[in-house]
Amino acid sequence: MKYIGDKAEDMKIAYIGGGSRGWAWRLMSDLALEQSISGTVYLYDIDYEAAKTNEIIGNNLKSQWLYKCVNNIEETLRGADFVIISILPGTFNEMMSDVHTPEKFGIYQSVGDTTGPGGLFRALRTIPLYVEFANKIKEYCPEAWVINYTNPMALCVKTLYETFPKIKAFGCCHEVFSTQNLIAKAVKEIEGIECSREDIRTNVLGINHFTWIDKASYKNIDLIPVYKKFVEKYFESGYEDRGDWKESYFNSANKVKFDLFKKYGIIAAAGDRHLAEFVPFLGYLENPETVARWKFHLTPVSWRIKNREELIEKSKRIANGEEKFEIEPSGEEGVKQIKALLGLGDLITNVNLPNIGQMEGIDYGTVVETNALFTKDRVQPIVSGELPEAVNMLLAPHVLNQKMIFEAAIKKDKDLAFQAFLNDPFLRKLSYSDAKKLFNEMFENTKEYLLGW
Amino acid sequence: MKYIGDKAEDMKIAYIGGGSRGWAWRLMSDLALEQSISGTVYLYDIDYEAAKTNEIIGNNLKSQWLYKCVNNIEETLRGADFVIISILPGTFNEMMSDVHTPEKFGIYQSVGDTTGPGGLFRALRTIPLYVEFANKIKEYCPEAWVINYTNPMALCVKTLYETFPKIKAFGCCHEVFSTQNLIAKAVKEIEGIECSREDIRTNVLGINHFTWIDKASYKNIDLIPVYKKFVEKYFESGYEDRGDWKESYFNSANKVKFDLFKKYGIIAAAGDRHLAEFVPFLGYLENPETVARWKFHLTPVSWRIKNREELIEKSKRIANGEEKFEIEPSGEEGVKQIKALLGLGDLITNVNLPNIGQMEGIDYGTVVETNALFTKDRVQPIVSGELPEAVNMLLAPHVLNQKMIFEAAIKKDKDLAFQAFLNDPFLRKLSYSDAKKLFNEMFENTKEYLLGW
Amino acid sequence: MKYIGDKAEDMKIAYIGGGSRGWAWRLMSDLALEQSISGTVYLYDIDYEAAKTNEIIGNNLKSQWLYKCVNNIEETLRGADFVIISILPGTFNEMMSDVHTPEKFGIYQSVGDTTGPGGLFRALRTIPLYVEFANKIKEYCPEAWVINYTNPMALCVKTLYETFPKIKAFGCCHEVFSTQNLIAKAVKEIEGIECSREDIRTNVLGINHFTWIDKASYKNIDLIPVYKKFVEKYFESGYEDRGDWKESYFNSANKVKFDLFKKYGIIAAAGDRHLAEFVPFLGYLENPETVARWKFHLTPVSWRIKNREELIEKSKRIANGEEKFEIEPSGEEGVKQIKALLGLGDLITNVNLPNIGQMEGIDYGTVVETNALFTKDRVQPIVSGELPEAVNMLLAPHVLNQKMIFEAAIKKDKDLAFQAFLNDPFLRKLSYSDAKKLFNEMFENTKEYLLGW
Amino acid sequence: MKYIGDKAEDMKIAYIGGGSRGWAWRLMSDLALEQSISGTVYLYDIDYEAAKTNEIIGNNLKSQWLYKCVNNIEETLRGADFVIISILPGTFNEMMSDVHTPEKFGIYQSVGDTTGPGGLFRALRTIPLYVEFANKIKEYCPEAWVINYTNPMALCVKTLYETFPKIKAFGCCHEVFSTQNLIAKAVKEIEGIECSREDIRTNVLGINHFTWIDKASYKNIDLIPVYKKFVEKYFESGYEDRGDWKESYFNSANKVKFDLFKKYGIIAAAGDRHLAEFVPFLGYLENPETVARWKFHLTPVSWRIKNREELIEKSKRIANGEEKFEIEPSGEEGVKQIKALLGLGDLITNVNLPNIGQMEGIDYGTVVETNALFTKDRVQPIVSGELPEAVNMLLAPHVLNQKMIFEAAIKKDKDLAFQAFLNDPFLRKLSYSDAKKLFNEMFENTKEYLLGW
Ligand SMILES: [Mg+2]
Ligand SMILES: [Mg+2]
Ligand SMILES: [Mg+2]
Ligand SMILES: [Mg+2]
């Protein structure tokens, strides 16, 4: 990499999971739209075909970036300036077990990739992969900045730091952005003022997908009372900020968010489907009917499988020119972060990092999500204070499990993994023996990806 | 108080709850048997009649102690050398609600005075009383040593220290002694060696009624392997160390204890009825039938009421000379502790104290149970190490609740109290709305003793 | 106060020490230059005359601000939106003792207001004043933001927070700005690039007047190697960034700064006269001759007295129109900070705040200086990492003394104060009995302002 | 090893530094006097001759112990039940530099083996040896209990634990015993009561050779007021508890101890020659004349050399039967500790261990000296509270240096070592450049034993 004036050229970005049709395509768009940086993106994926297709797509774009599909991780990483990781740990078969096996025992997960029984098993198969990534990064590009998009976010980031403590890594998720968009809509609805999420200042704190905003302002206006009025207005009906909640598994009427605000007086800053999974005992996930009553969705893995097939088809069409790849801002901030780290303009945004002081009342080392200042070669968390005690209590089992699941995965300690399983609030419903039965069944189902246990 | 040679004379012991027919009678016996100390025991009780009867009983004994019933707490405490507290917070009516209201929701507590929904409500009405005791002690006898026998033990001791940080207080419970007796029996059964609990060295750690022994020896013999063989031998049948488990609500076959040893490899050191309440999800308390299968008992409050009536009759008979008061060693260590604190012989025994370093892995300030060295005017905990991680996890919600319940009681914060209620593992079984319903019902039932809420 | 569009009107700023001819005049200038805020500045000073003169000066300016001199602190503070404090604790008589009494024992302080024997005694008389300020702020304007400019900075801020933990206070000092200006000059000298201190990104950490910069960049250029070359070039000669070092007691050739960089590899970010006082054993302050050799100055209090007289004359001339008050940007950031706190534009700058996570390796509660993000009604420190261990060791006695001096002042504990006195590196030179003699003499000299000892 | 009834037979004790004519001979005496344990002591020493002579001496004794001199450490350690270490790190040549080089700069050390410039250099050459011992113990006898007698005690013990965290090690020193003997004499002098040190209960806390007793009792008598009267009586004259202070370099009149009691109100529990070195700024060590005025001694290394020669001669005479070896109780507690660890009787005594909660206000991991309970295979520190703040401050630089010297020795970091050197209160007297000169000279003098720097 070299700097020419205020531009960085000849950069190398290593993309692990480079066959991705979500994060990778959004990156391609954002890179194409950004004139101040250029170079080559190395695409690595265990699905070589997918990476290859993305290489074609990327190189077809009108962009100052070259895309290069490679089939070994070492070549991908060697000398990289930035590393991006977005992978699927295991296959949708394993995810099928993660999400749907617990349903037999009356446990309904709306996502199943972060917490709950599904999140736990996903973590068990992800952590060893991230140990490997961290070791390779240490060897091949120890100075690179690493951006993680994979879930379970907190455990991915934790694994990177535990394995290679000097790693320069952080994890990104857009759930807070959506909440900021919702707040901007509340400003419009309540105050009649147009503003965008970028105009809003929020203090972010919590853990990924169970993140909170305790302070928010637009210019000189304190937005907490504004949001309060908004919640009061739409508490019963819900507010469908992205269109009819029924039209997409990813839509909702934000009723869970509003209910949490009523209960705790603070803004929950993630989609309802994520939030509900951290507090199943609050009744949002009793069964499919209650979920519908709360106006959000259980996301079936069958949909993911079908969606993937469609995306594969779409990628082929784009690659062979039958369909146009639309270059448009993705709403993600990866490229802005890269620019800031290159010294091309500061940025404050929310990221996932081990707690080194930014969050009070949570153990050091826990991966938490708060704002951070991005500047030349530095990401510094902003001290974000403490959650209300009642909310901290909701986090407590998840914070504990972050530590326990990590340890269990590293030591291949099945008893400890089961202990963590029992800690999860989802398990409140089951007797000890049913819990054991479920654990063993999920273990069996996914054991192909649980090597060394 | 003055010392004459190796004797202490003219001592003043203040007994709050001096109408007690359990702890108070045991104290009378032990005092009568101990020649090196003498003085007056002031008996104070909100049930003046009961204290008066105990005064008569005490003064009838052949003993170097005088008993004096007084009806105000200030006179009781003024200038006391030692303070003993054993009270019933509220009446058996409230305890009826504590123990049996949850049964309507399928929650069965075997004791209901320490943890679980019952322990929580008992704590809410006990804490304000202990705030008052601590303040009076600070005013009338700040240098006195204070021995607590009341449950919930940990929260009573915590309240004393939080209110008057320089208090010299500790809490005593005989559950560990029973376990030491059981271990002595194991030594006999497995090794063929006779020994008494005093001969056994145990390392004690945990919280009251959920206490553990991770190391034990008799002379040069490591007793953990001995206990392991003992458990293996009696795992199926159980071992009835105090006679037929069916004969008393307080007997058991130690099957819960053995099961915990199998699961965690460490000796649980309390009666099965206490242990089971900390881990209801392990299935010991599913319903009355499972309890019977585990060979222990739910202790109905109706029995306590009937028992009290019998004891009142008995106390009258003793007071008027119809029945003889049997002076015999109680097995408690209160008098030994008093002697040690007077400089009349050192003692190492287990007590409940705020954690100031004695237990690793548990927050400072949590009231924990470990061994301590008693010597002239000092009680110093012995550093006892850390529980196995899996056991520490079992303690975690209870440690958290010690803090939350205390705060809720001090602040009269109903939301926080409910939050703590939800933290309790017993609540795993209930939906959020059922939990709320139960909480409100228990609150209503006992509100006469919940002043200022 | 009210907002009209992006302007704040009818603000009330309370100025304690409003007779100041330094900080107050700079504030007047900056306020006059800023169009987006307006209101009234209340001037309070125990030197009523001085405040009165400043009222006249302020009201004569072409400015949207009104100045009002009041002679009681309650009226000054009641309902204030912002409070500014810049006072002289005691008089120059006491400062004469602080700075010059130690010289009899061979101890030469270049400032004597922050650390060393002088800083300690100044703190002892300042802390009770700040206890009073904090209590009054709590009573009259608990929601106000409080800006402190008084030294000893760290102990002033600590006292505010210890007395009223919910206070919204921070302390400001321009020493880091000067260092940033010096770095900008280094960029010009070494790289040939013009830039201003605002263009430079620095990570600030340490304690006031002993602050450090471990990372610095200008756009994509890492400035640590640039500064290194600069130091190498000017190590011998020094670099007189503000003109001939001999011309002002406040000028220097930055040779202490360069020497510290050589020794510790990190940029010391305060004037040489402040830095030297924290590490007198490094030889910068052996005697007046060595000070001259290091090309900086001992600031005699006689100069301060003479300077004050001149400023009084000047203030009179300005007040009666004989001399013009020059409105020009002061280089301070108080007004920018006020705007940011009003929601009129974010700001990142260095401030003094209790450590709540922003600085690793330093006890929580220590007042440290790091960057912070200022936004609507919030000041959030940025996590700034840890100093090199060798530098941390240099801070250690001062961090300890911050705690000890505070305690001594609160408890009026002369032994503890002397203990702290002994901790100060300046005292390394003296025998115990000489140290005691010096302490007692300084105590006697200033006892008029040491009430209650 | 095996147990026959209450006896342990076939034990293996490994003695590193087995040529010792101090600790080793005392051990031989105590072993010969103890009937309940028997076995073989393996003697290893880099001075093979000395170990061989001790083998002959040991085997000539009427004792149930066999002595076996071996010339490799592996054979010594393999399968040992106990390991004893008492070595001289380097030779008396290095110690000559440690103690006497600083005198050129006016720094007088009374011992020079624990703290001060001498203690630091001794530590630098000791730590690598202890790394090796710990690694060998880990390999050859990981379950053995390790008793250290070598100075600098704290750093030896720290090195063992840092290198092999599961080591079962502790460090022993008799300085506290001497103080207990002195207190017993005070009881006789003031109260007219005969008692021995074993009858006295003391709470011990601090760091080795700078240890303190804040509570002491004999039966029901609080001994702090007794000691106070004793100090008042003998403050001027001193009290020569071991005969004329002039007769031995190791005698004193306890005047330093009395002075510290006056100043801090707590009993300093080590010999005056050790105590003085931690607080040279208190004036005890200004120069040889002040030392004489305080009635204690500087211990010249020339005396040690001469003494060693005499002891060598004596050892030869004993070995060849010309002189009788007197078997008598040594006053040390090593054998009692061994018995207790074998389960043959509990013991409470003071030992040096990493802080795991036993001492408040001192960082975890610092090697501190407090009481501990010895029982079967366990050494558990007793929670000993906190030193008075003023005393804690005296400890502060030494606690810091324990950490820094260890790190410097491990990393061979000369700058860090010099930083630690500067931290030492002895260095208060010197300018920076003199300090550097002294450091370099001491480094040069001892570089033969500073490998890898
Ligand atoms: Mg996400
Ligand atoms: Mg009990
Ligand atoms: Mg300043
Ligand atoms: Mg010693």
Amino acid in position C309: E
Smallest CA–CA distance, residue D37 to chain B, in Å, is 12
C209 belongs to an annotated ligand binding site: yes
- Report the mean per-residue pLDDT for chain C: 96
Q: How many CB atoms within 10 Å of residue C190?
A: 17
* Model confidence pLDDT, tens digit, residues D57-73: 999 999 999 999 999 99
B431 touching A, CB under 8 A?
yes
CA D362 remoteness from chain centre = 20
Is B100 a known active-site residue? Answer: no
- pLDDT-derived band at D389 (thresholds 50, 70, 90) equals confident
The predicted structure's pLDDT at residue D396 = 86
Considering only CB atoms, which chain B residues are within 8 Å of A428? 427-429
Upstream peptide bond of D152 is cis (omega within 30 degrees of 0): yes
Q: Measured between CB atoms, which of C6, C358, C384 is closest to A219? A: C6
User: Which structure tokens are listed for D192?
Assistant: 């007219």
D377 touches chain B (CB under 8 A): yes
Q: How confident is the model over D179-195, as pLDDT tens digits?
A: 999 999 999 999 999 99
Tokens coding B250: 């307080």
* Res B187: pLDDT: 98
What pLDDT was estimated at residue A451? 87
Give the mean pLDDT of B142-166: 98
Mean pLDDT of B231-259: 96
Residues of chain A with C-beta less than 8 angstroms from the C-beta of B427 = 428
D428 has a pLDDT exceeding 80: no
Mean pLDDT to the nearest integer, D1-8: 93
**The two structure tokens encoding residue D244:** 């004329």
| Residues A79-137 pLDDT 10s | 999 999 999 999 999 999 999 999 999 999 999 999 999 999 999 999 999 999 999 99
Partner residue opposite A382 with nearest CB, options C6, C342, C380: C380
Q: Hey, which chains touch C, using 3+ CB pairs under 8 Å?
A: A, D
pLDDT for the residue numbered B453: 93
Look at residue B285 in the predicted model and tell me its pLDDT. Answer: 96
Question: What's the pLDDT band for A413 if we cut at 50, 70, 90?
Answer: very high
| Residues A409 and A127 sit within 8 Å (Cβ to Cβ) | yes
Where is D221: in which H helix or E strand? strand D221-222
Rg over CA atoms, chain C: 21
Q: What is the pLDDT of residues D294-337, one digit of tens each?
A: 999 999 999 999 999 999 999 999 999 999 999 999 999 999 99
DSSP string, D150-183: -SSHHHHHHHHHHHSTT-EEEE--SHHHHHHHHH
d(CA A381, CA A359): 9
- What does the alpha-carbon distance between residue C341 and residue C1 come to, in Å, rounded to a whole number? 13
Q: Please name the member of A389, A416, A422 whose beta carbon is closest to the beta carbon of B281.
A: A422
pLDDT over 90 (residue B446): yes
Among D27, D42, D54, D23, residue whose Cα is nearest residue D327? D27
Which residues, including other chains, have CB under 8 Å from residue A374's CB and lie 6 or more apart?
Answer: A337, A340, A341, A346, A347, A348, A349
Selection from C79, C14, C75, C16 nearest residue C40 by Cα: C14
Q: Which residues pair with A43 in a beta bridge?
A: A15, A69
Whether C166 has its CB under 8 Å from any CB of chain A: the answer is no
What is the least distance, in Å, from the CA of A360 to any CA of chain C?
A: 8
Average pLDDT over chain D reads: 96
Residue D289 neighbours by CB under 8 Å, 6+ apart: none
State pLDDT tens for residues B47-103.
Answer: 999 999 999 999 999 999 999 999 999 999 999 999 999 999 999 999 999 999 999
- Top pLDDT among D433 and D177 is at D177
Residue C366: phi and psi, rounded to 5, are -60, 135
Output the pLDDT for position A189: 97
Residue A433: pLDDT over 90: no
Interface of A with C in 192-231 (CB under 8 A): 201, 203, 215, 217, 219-222
Please give the Cα distance from B60 to B325 (Å, whole number): 9
Helix/strand number for chain A, H first, E second: 16, 14
Domains and CATH numbers, chain D: 2-91+111-173 (3.40.50.720), 92-110+174-299+332-453 (3.90.1820.10)
In the block, tokens 């605002």 appear at C198
> What's residue A366's pLDDT?
98
| Yes or no, beta carbons of B382 and D383 under 8 Å apart | yes
DSSP string, D6-61: TEEEEEEEEEETTT-SSHHHHHHHHHHT-TTEEEEEEEE-SSHHHHHHHHHHHHHS
pLDDT value at position C393? 81
pLDDT category at A67 given cuts 50, 70, 90 is very high
Question: Nearest-5° angle of CA C96, CA C98, CA C103?
Answer: 85
pLDDT at position D430: 86
What confidence tens digit (pLDDT) does each residue in B166-219 have? 999 999 999 999 999 999 999 999 999 999 999 999 999 999 999 999 999 999
What residues are paired with C211 via a beta bridge? C206
Query: Which residues of chain A neighbour B393 with C-beta distances below 8 Å?
Result: 400, 404, 419, 423
- The closest alpha carbon to C362, from C337, C331, C385, C342, belongs to C385
- The arithmetic mean of pLDDT across residues C58-63, rounded, is 95
Closest CA to D446 of D120, D136, D200: D120
Cα B296 to chain centroid, rounded: 19
Share above pLDDT 70 across residues of chain A, in percent, rounded to a whole number:
100
The answer to whether D297 is annotated as binding is: no
Place of tokens 């601090």: D206
Q: Answer whether residue C247 shows pLDDT above 90.
A: yes
Burial class (CB in 10 A: 0-12, 13-18, 19+), D384: buried
Sequence-ordered list of residues with C-beta below 8 angstroms from that of C249, at least 6 positions apart, any chain? C297, C298, C299, C300, C303
How confident is the model over B282-335, as pLDDT tens digits? Answer: 889 999 999 999 999 999 999 999 999 999 999 999 999 999 999 999 999 999
Q: What pLDDT is recorded for position A392? A: 87
Closest-CA distance, A312 to chain B, in angstroms, reads 42
Angle of CA points B69, B75, B78, to nearest 5°: 125
* Residue B383 to residue D378, Cβ atoms within 8 A: no
How many Å from the N-terminal Cα to the C-terminal Cα in chain C?
A: 42
Closest CA to C223 of B45, B271, A343: A343
On whether the CB atoms of residues D38 and D65 are closer than 8 A, the answer is yes
The answer to whether the bond into A152 is cis (omega within 30° of 0) is yes
Tell me: pLDDT of A428 over 80: no
What share of chain B has pLDDT > 90, as a percent?
93
Model confidence at D10: pLDDT above 90: yes
Rounded distance between C-alpha atoms, residue D324 and residue A441, angstroms:
77
CA distance A411 to chain B (A): 13
Provide the annotated active-site residues of A. Answer: 174
Which tens digits make up the pLDDT trace of A177-227? 999 999 999 999 999 999 999 999 999 999 999 999 999 999 999 999 999
**Backbone phi, psi, residue B238, to 5°:** 80, 170
For residues D87 and D17, give the distance between their C-alpha atoms in angstroms, rounded to a whole number: 5
Measured CA distances, C8 to C15, C80, D97, D168 (Å): 18, 14, 72, 68
Give the per-residue pLDDT at D392: 87
Q: For residue B354, what is the nearest residue in chain D, using CA coordinates?
A: D383
Q: Cβ distance C23 to C53 under 8 Å?
A: no
Per-residue confidence (pLDDT) for residue A234, from 0 to 100? 97
| Residue of C4, C215, C378, C380 to mutate when probing chain A, most A C-beta within 10 A | C380
Q: Judge whether A169 and A199 are in contact, CB under 8 Å.
A: no
Residue C68 backbone zone (phi > 0: left; psi -120 to 50: alpha; other: beta): beta
